[in-house]
Amino acid sequence: MTMTVRFETTPNPQTLKFTVGQQLTQQPAEFKTARDAAHSPLAKKIFGFPWCDAVFVGSDFVTVTKQDWVDWDVLAEPLAGLIGEHLERGEAVVIEGASGTADGSAVSASDTPVVREIKKILNEEIRPAVALDGGDIVFHKYEGNVVYLYMQGACAGCPSSTFTLKEGIEARLRNAIPEIKEVVAL
């Protein structure tokens, strides 16, 4: 059986989203360098190409960010084929538990009611929406009434990420939790 891998543009012109129609990982993982990709055989394979800038593995998709000196019209189909072959062979995508990537949803002793509410809004409303564009938003901390987040996948380096951060995420969180002064991407 041939694996069908579809690709689509994202708001970030340097990033394409490759949808595979099957679960790839329990926990999203971002790889910004070939060294980071040590725990992802698929990302490691993609980083074998000199044009690769980043790989993000979502639940049922992979986003790949390229360097600007090469065009997607040359890369997209062969890359979709490579991803399909990797999956058809049953090769691992991410070695679960090894990447250390977290979505911020785990409850820790330092979670306050405000932090729990921030995480709830991020996980239930915002993360599913940005995943449609091949990205992810990960909670880092809440300190001094400022929410600190990581923008991953297609969101990292996207020209519209500032708009998404301020007009979307910050507006939603401030509406729910008026004491929040600002949302900052790390």
Residue-level pLDDT at 110: 64
Residue-level pLDDT at 91: 92
Residue-level pLDDT at 102: 45
Q: How confident is the model at residue 43 (pLDDT cuts 50, 70, 90)?
A: very high
Distance CA 133, CA 63 (A): 9
Residue with more model confidence, 82 or 132: 82
Which residue is it, tokens 């049922």?
60
Residue with more model confidence, 49 or 166: 49
Residue with more model confidence, 109 or 119: 119
Residue-level pLDDT at 175: 93
Q: pTM of the full predicted structure?
A: 0.80
Domains of the chain: 6-88 (3.30.1370.70), 113-185 (3.30.300.130)
Residue-level pLDDT at 100: 44
**131 vs 110, 121, 145, 151, 155, CA distance in Å?**
27, 15, 26, 11, 9
Distance CA 171, CA 169 (A): 6
Distance CA 53, CA 32 (A): 7
Would you say 142 and 123 are in contact if contact means Cβ atoms under 8 Å apart? no
Distance CA 102, CA 79 (A): 27
Which residue is it, tokens 């072959």?
85
Take residue 181 and report the two structure tokens written for it.
């002064």
